[in-house]
């Protein structure tokens, strides 16, 4: 019989050989906040208009697995179910399109009163996102739109969202992290490539200028390489967003790096150190691109582990706002959350369970052979034994215990929807 406690003890002895404090690694992994995106639960649908929930902006959910949340109450119920199996400090990440106004208001008129206090009552932190897509006024661009009236509408939306963020921060006592992502772009390469960028810059400037009194909001500016139907040109490219953040030189304006937003051979893990050379914080969107920005469920894969290793080794774990961003409609959506979020935290734990100081010493001493030997040795280290014990301690279920409960919930709740 597998005894979790005994396994943990054996793992502790394994790690002790290399001077690694397992309890401390668990403590840090547990207290690192992860912001769980609400939009996995309903395929980025939101609750504004029941008739038309078409997803626009060049992102796509694929699959038609039964049981998706149709109402805010169902979504909350599903999030609560998923959270049971996700150990550690959590925040919930909402999009503006998840407003719950009795009569939906337009995006430029949303306020805190259009959101419920559920997360606050649960003691969870709250993050927020303006929704600059899936809206009749977003077809020809949003913050970069050449039509001034349309652009001003989206500027008002950005302003409204920063105010909602301040309200969430006041209610939760935790900073609210807002992510600004605009899909603006072009299917063909435009003739005027700078005009839209100058307008996007001006729109962000206007949003921040109008909300200077907002103090407890962090603003991530998210770039992207391309979207579906917008293949040739993205206004908010990596260079644009990086330039904006660096030039703004404000503590609250930071880069968002989504792991699916780069060319397939480019990796976020290789970008972090350069950004941290010039910035104090980064917002991460942890996802999994499969050949494109497909937003597959986060895997416990080399890149996810490499990102967390970088953060730990640079001592930037507590400077990084970690959020998940994926939407798989082809599997049970609660399983998607549980797998993706557990993998994200497991990768943090694995990064902490390494002889990082020792490897740095070896490298500094020029012992490149030992450096490689250590790196390779730890790829098969017994992380799972520590992970199981930690999950059991937190009531999140060891191993795959969560799966049976999710299957039961699917049978009793999801399949009746």
Using CB under 6 A, which residues numbered 230 to 289 contact ligand RNT? 258, 285
Backbone angles phi, psi at 296, to 5 degrees: -65, 160
Find which of ligand RNT, Zn ion, none residue 76 binds, CB within 5 to 8 Å per kind. none
- 118 given a catalytic annotation: no
Q: Which residue out of 325, 328, 388, 410 is catalytically annotated?
A: 325
Which of 153/181 has CB closer to ligand RNT?
181
**Minimum distance, C-beta of residue 259 to ligand RNT, in the bound complex (Å):** 9
Which of 178/272 has CB closer to ligand RNT?
178
- 293 given a catalytic annotation: yes
Site string for ligand RNT, 30-49 (x = CB under 6 A): ---------x----x-----
Which of 258/410 has CB closer to Zn ion?
258
Find which of Zn ion, ligand RNT, none residue 162 binds, CB within 5 to 8 Å per kind. none
Find which of ligand RNT, Zn ion, none residue 293 binds, CB within 5 to 8 Å per kind. ligand RNT
How far is it, in rounded angstroms, from Cα 189 to Cα 146? 16
Which of 178/350 has CB closer to Zn ion?
178
- 95 given a catalytic annotation: no
- 175 given a catalytic annotation: no
Q: Determine if 258 is a binding residue for Zn ion (CB under 5 A).
A: yes
How far is it, in rounded angstroms, from Cα 44 to Cα 33? 22
Candidates 81-89, 168-176, 235-243, 317-325; binding stretch for Zn ion (CB under 5 A): 317-325
**DSSP three-state, residue 179:** strand
**DSSP three-state, residue 12:** helix
Find which of ligand RNT, Zn ion, none residue 409 binds, CB within 5 to 8 Å per kind. none
How far is it, in rounded angstroms, from Cα 195 to Cα 146? 8
Site string for Zn ion, 203-242 (x = CB under 5 A): ----------------------------------------
C-alpha pair distances (Å), 328 with each of 64, 347, 396? 9, 20, 22
Which of 325/410 has CB closer to Zn ion?
325
Which of 76/224 has CB closer to ligand RNT?
224
**Minimum distance, C-beta of residue 181 to ligand RNT, in the bound complex (Å):** 4
How wide is the angle at C-alpha 334 spanned by C-alphas 299 and 56, nearest 5°? 80
How far is it, in rounded angstroms, from Cα 294 to Cα 59? 8
Q: What one-character-per-residue DSSP string does 285-320 give?
A: EE-B-SSSS--BPP-S-HHHHHHHHHHHHTT-GGGE
**Minimum distance, C-beta of residue 23 to ligand RNT, in the bound complex (Å):** 35
- 292 given a catalytic annotation: no
How far is it, in rounded angstroms, from Cα 311 to Cα 29? 12
Q: Determine if 78 is a binding residue for Zn ion (CB under 5 A).
A: no
Q: Is the dihedral of CA 87, 93, 97, 101 positive or negative?
A: positive
**Minimum distance, C-beta of residue 2 to Zn ion, in the bound complex (Å):** 38
Candidates 170-178, 199-207, 276-284, 321-329; binding stretch for Zn ion (CB under 5 A): 321-329
Shortest-Cβ-distance residue relative to ligand RNT? 181
Around Cβ 23, how many Cβ atoms within 10 Å? Answer: 10
Query: Residue 14 burial (CB < 10 Å; 0-12/13-18/19+)?
Result: middle
What long-range pairs does 22-29 form, CB within 8 A, spacing at least 24?
Answer: 22/353, 22/386, 24/352, 25/349, 25/352, 25/353, 25/386, 26/349, 26/386, 26/390, 28/317, 28/348, 28/352, 29/88, 29/345, 29/348, 29/349, 29/352, 29/390
Q: Which residue out of 114, 137, 261, 346 is catalytically annotated?
A: 261
How far is it, in rounded angstroms, from Cα 44 to Cα 131? 10
- 285 given a catalytic annotation: yes
Of 71, 172, 162, residue with least CA distance to 118:
172
- 258 given a catalytic annotation: yes
Site residues, ligand RNT (CB under 6 A): 39, 44, 59, 129, 179, 181, 222, 224, 258, 285, 293, 325
């Amino acid at each position: 019989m597998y005894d979790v406690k005994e396994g943990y003890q054996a793992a502790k002895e394994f790690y002790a050989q290399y001077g690694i404090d397992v309890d401390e690694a668990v403590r840090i992994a547990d207290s690192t906040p992860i912001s769980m995106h609400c939009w996995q639960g309903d395929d980025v649908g939101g609750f504004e208009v029941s008739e038309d929930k078409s997803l626009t902006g060049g992102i796509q959910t694929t699959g038609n697995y039964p049981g998706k949340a149709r109402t805010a109450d169902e979504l909350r119920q599903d999030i609560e179910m998923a959270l049971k199996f996700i150990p550690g400090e959590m925040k919930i990440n909402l999009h503006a399109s998840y407003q719950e106004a009795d009569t939906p208001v337009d995006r430029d008129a949303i306020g805190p009163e259009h959101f419920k206090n559920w997360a606050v009552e649960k003691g969870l932190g709250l993050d927020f996102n303006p929704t600059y897509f899936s809206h009749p006024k977003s077809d020809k661009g949003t913050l970069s739109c050449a039509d001034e009236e349309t652009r001003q509408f989206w500027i008002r939306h950005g302003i409204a969202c920063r105010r909602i963020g301040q309200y969430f921060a006041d209610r939760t006592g935790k900073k609210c992290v807002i992510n600004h992502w605009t899909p603006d772009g072009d299917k063909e390469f435009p003739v005027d490539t700078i005009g839209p960028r100058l307008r996007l810059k001006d729109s962000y400037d206007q949003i921040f200028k109008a909300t200077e009194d907002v103090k407890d909001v962090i603003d991530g500016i998210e770039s992207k390489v391309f979207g579906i139907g917008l293949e040739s040109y993205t206004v908010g490219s990596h260079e644009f967003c990086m330039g904006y953040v660096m030039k703004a030189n404000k503590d609250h304006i930071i880069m968002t790096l989504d792991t699916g937003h780069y060319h397939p051979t480019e990796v976020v893990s290789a970008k972090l150190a350069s950004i941290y050379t010039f910035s104090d914080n980064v917002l991460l969107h942890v996802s999994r691109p499969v050949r494109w920005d497909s937003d597959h469920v986060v895997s416990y894969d080399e890149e996810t582990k490499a990102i967390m290793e970088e953060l730990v080794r640079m001592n930037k774990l507590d400077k990084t706002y970690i959020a998940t961003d994926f939407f798989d409609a082809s599997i049970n959506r609660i399983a998607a959350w549980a797998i993706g979020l557990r993998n994200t935290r497991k990768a943090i734990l694995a990064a902490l369970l390494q002889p990082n100081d020792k490897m740095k010493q070896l490298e500094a001493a020029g012992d490149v052979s030992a450096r490689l030997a250590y790196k390779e040795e730890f790829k098969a280290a017994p992380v799972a034994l520590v992970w199981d014990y930690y999950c059991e301690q937190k009531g999140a279920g060891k191993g795959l215990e969560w799966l049976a409960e999710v299957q039961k919930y699917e049978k009793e709740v999801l399949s009746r929807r």
